[in-house]
Structure 1
Amino acid sequence: MASWVGIVSWVQRGPQAQAIGNQVISIVTITHAALTHSAPELRKELLFELVSNEGIRIFPLEVTDKVAPPPDTPLMDDIESIVKSKLGSDTRFSSRVNDQPGFWVSFKIDDDKYWMMLERERITGLTRVQWAGWAAVVGVLSLLGAGLISSLINLPLSRLTAAARDIARGRKPDPLPEKGPTEIAEANHSFNQMVEDLAQVESDRAVILAGISHDLRTPLARMGLEVEMADLSTEAREGMQSDIAQMDAIIGQFLDYAKPTEAATFVPVDISALLEEVAREAGRTASLRVSTDIAPDLHVMGNSTDLRRVINNLIENARRYGTTPGTGYTEVDIACHAQGLGPLRRVVIEVQDHGVGVPDDQIEQLLKPFTRLDTARGQANGSGLGLAIVERAVTRHNAELHVKNRDGGGLQIRISMPPAA
């Protein structure tokens, strides 16, 4: 806007000064000619006509006149230069003569000098109202142009954001258009290449995991059979079988952690019924005491197998590390309720135990793969992937996971999921 004001002022000044200067020259020349060639008895009538019709007044120029200098502006300097080049360098200008304001220009008829007074408006530039009007027009045009440019820039960024969000949710986005400004085209090309690379990594990982499952579990099954047939004491056989079962469970955890879940397979899941079923199955374990507070008919979008695995991992984590002090068994509370209204509505699942909990400064470590807080949670048998699997599956379901210590002791894990449409 400042540049525009400067440019308009500079570009407009020359033509405006030329127009005003030519107008002053024409008026002075015509007035001079009219007064020179008119009969003396008709000059009063001529001066009256000039005043009443043209707003031009003629006064004799006296030495005693009190003359104020003209406005000190670049426009006035240009007007003076133009007028003096035609009427003579002795032409005088004034903004006030004998305390009467106006646009005063001197001229001569023979040896007599006169003042010609014109309206002051003849030498004014754009008024404040005109400047404000033009500024408003330019401001509106600038905003429209900025909005257009912003939309052209934001559209590729919005596509990129949506594609990145699809990847975070486990979906493969459509290829981004590799056109437009160089930076946008290069960014989209790099993103498309990254998506292809990630897809290839997922494919290679699936092949590797299939090989791990076959190559490790087959020998474990053979070892289990040999242990059954070997002439071992009961204690040794049970110990080896426990070790083999633990190794098989660890392999299963690795596979669960690495196995991708396609968001395209998500369907409405009756999470209330699923939680009731998981709670009944867990309640059959002798070392568990499971209580529930589950609202009926709550549905979420997801993969029922993954959601069942999430809840089972949370219960198993509580069974291993959340034993209620002084009882020898684990108390697990499972709750599920809907919270909020409209677009803010969420289905909230809570699983908590009554154990000793975890030091507050170590809670964030629980969600990291291969992390086991031995001192805080007791024993250390497993891969340390239980809660990492939960966190990974929850993220793929566009949900939020919160872990904190329960009031009164124990660990509380809270999952907030969007409901099914």
Structure 2
Amino acid sequence: MMSRFSLRLASLKSGLFWRTFFLLGALTTLSMTAWVGMISVVQHEPQVQQISSQVISVVTITHAALTHSAPELRRELLFDLVANEGIRVFALEDDDKVEPPPANALMPDIEKLVRAKLGPDTRFSSKVNGTPGFWVSFKIDDDAYWLMLERERIRGLTGIQWLGWASVVSVVSLIGAAFISSLINLPLRRLTQATRAFAQGRRPAPLPEKGPAEIMEANRSFNQMVVQLQQVESDRAVILAGISHDLRTPLARMQLEVEMADLSKEAREGMQSDIGQMDDIIGQFLDYAKPTEASSFTSIDLSALLEETAHEAERLPDVRICTEITADAHAMGNATDLKRVINNLIENARRYGKTPGSDVTEIDIRCSFKGSHAARRILIEVQDHGTGVPDEQIEQLLKPFTRLDTARGQANGAGLGLAIVERVIQRHGAELQVRNREGGGLQIQISMKAV
């Protein structure tokens, strides 16, 4: 589970879309942080002046109103201040439970300006006797009073409000970053999909030759490359067909002349063997160079194909086949090419995988399913019981014209058997693994997507 999560995380980090998205997101976040900091610094002094002026004005007007009003009318005046202005005036007692003023960046400067106007004895509080508000003290003659303002009247944007607005702007910015990243990566995604399709043997639809000059030039070059490579592929098929005809015709004539010539039995068999080997080499070259068209792929019953191929191989006198094939294993592919692959693997095992101390080659052919239903794959295994090859030389087996004679015995042919297998497997979008089998021998595994 962790490995799968790590792979997904690695793909997210390596994807160009996500890199662009994260870079734009980081740039937006840094810009937003700088903007909030700048606004906080710029607004600090004006906000302090505004709140201080408001507090001083309210206290001064209330002080003047209470001082100049008739004693019998003060109660009505206090009711009017509460009802119309949200201002409450209470007598300041020595036993009042007073809590300190709000702890924010503005309060120290507000206290300094208000005390400069109202006097150094002015007190501030955020709650008096359990009643929250913005409390300021003032005196009328020798009597002290509390004046309480509603917090909303002197409150600017709080930290939560700043965070809320910053979050809204950040979300909008990230959505914009995702949209911009998508626009930037759309042409590259199209090019990647077209390249993958072409690598799998399909002819991709021409890429649109529009947009920025760089994208337009890349798409035009890719379209031209596809046309030129397909022309090369077509020309190669014609050339190979000619080579096959021109070489095999004299070989057939040589075979006929050998049959009619007055030769000893040993000489005739030797020449016939050489001619047969030359014909096999020509066939290997043609199989290696022959393209596998994805357009010819159909749903294939691999179980039946493997059973048929194994039955045919059992007719060979020096081969013993052991099968373990799951039924109803279907995959998309070319039946002829896949059968050629299995035959090549069996022939490779027959030639080079003989069991030590025996003239019979034991070959195991297995077919099974792997993975969940949605991502189910078919595993095909062909393995022998021979001596295997050194681990450091396994990769050499898949290279064209390579034979590991010292490890696998003497070989006839051009050394294209496993190279043909790998080429066909890649055309089918499958995976090929070659490794030594536990207990001796070589194991070749093919993994294909099930349908």
Could you say which TM-score interval applies, normalised by the shorter chain? 0.7 to 0.9
Cα distance in 2 for partners of 1:258, 1:100 equals 88
Alignment of 1:165-176 (within 5 A): 165-176=196-207
Aligned to 2:367: 336
Change (3 A) 1:211 1:8: farther
Change (3 A) 1:213 1:48: same
Structure 2 counterpart of 1:405, from 426, 436, 449: 436
Cα distance in 2 for partners of 1:24, 1:321 equals 99
Cα distance in 1 for partners of 2:181, 2:336 equals 44
Shift of 1:412: 1.6
Shift of 1:182: 5.1
The aligned amino acid for 2:386 is G
Cα distance in 2 for partners of 1:71, 1:408 equals 77
Change (3 A) 1:220 1:14: farther
Question: SS of 2:225's equivalent?
Answer: helix
TM-score normalised according to structure 2 size: 0.73
The aligned amino acid for 1:233 is S
The aligned amino acid for 2:310 is A
Cα distance in 2 for partners of 1:216, 1:351 equals 33
Structure 2 counterpart of 1:323, from 354, 357, 371: 354
Change (3 A) 1:275 1:56: closer
Question: SS of 1:404's equivalent?
Answer: strand
Aligned to 2:401: 370
How far does the alpha carbon of each residue in 1:191-239 deviate from its partner, in whole angstroms, 9 at most, with x for none?
Answer: 3343333323322322332332233333333333343344433322322
Aligned to 2:302: 271
How far does the alpha carbon of each residue in 1:121-142 deviate from its partner, in whole angstroms, 9 at most, with x for none?
Answer: 4554211232232233223323
Structure 1 counterpart of 2:164, from 133, 139, 156: 133
Alignment of 1:15-414 (within 5 A): 20=51, 48=78, 52=82, 54=85, 55=87, 96-97=122-123, 119=149, 121=151, 122-181=153-212, 184-414=215-445
Change (3 A) 1:8 1:178: farther
The aligned amino acid for 1:393 is V
TM-score normalised according to structure 1 size: 0.77
Cα distance in 1 for partners of 2:261, 2:339 equals 37
The aligned amino acid for 1:165 is R
| Number of residue equivalences | 403
Change (3 A) 1:343 1:73: closer
Structure with max Cα Rg: 1
Identity within the alignment, %? 63
Change (3 A) 1:21 1:347: same
Is the 8 Å Cα contact of residues 93 and 104 (structure 1) preserved in structure 2? no
What RMSD in Å do the two structures reach over aligned CA positions? 4.2
Q: Which range moved further: 227-236 or 396-405? A: 227-236
The aligned amino acid for 1:254 is F
Cα distance in 1 for partners of 2:228, 2:41 equals 58
Cα distance in 2 for partners of 1:100, 1:292 equals 87
Change (3 A) 1:33 1:387: same
Cα distance in 1 for partners of 2:432, 2:321 equals 21
How far does the alpha carbon of each residue in 1:146-189 deviate from its partner, in whole angstroms, 9 at most, with x for none?
Answer: 33334334444443333233123211111223344555444434
How far does the alpha carbon of each residue in 1:340-381 deviate from its partner, in whole angstroms, 9 at most, with x for none?
Answer: 441232222221212111112211221111111111100132
Change (3 A) 1:182 1:23: farther
Shift of 1:385: 0.7
Is the 8 Å Cα contact of residues 18 and 79 (structure 1) preserved in structure 2? no
Change (3 A) 1:4 1:361: same
Cα distance in 2 for partners of 1:349, 1:99 equals 81
Cα distance in 1 for partners of 2:431, 2:78 equals 91
The aligned amino acid for 1:417 is M
Cα distance in 2 for partners of 1:265, 1:95 equals 96
Cα distance in 2 for partners of 1:372, 1:242 equals 20
Is the 8 Å Cα contact of residues 370 and 384 (structure 1) preserved in structure 2? yes
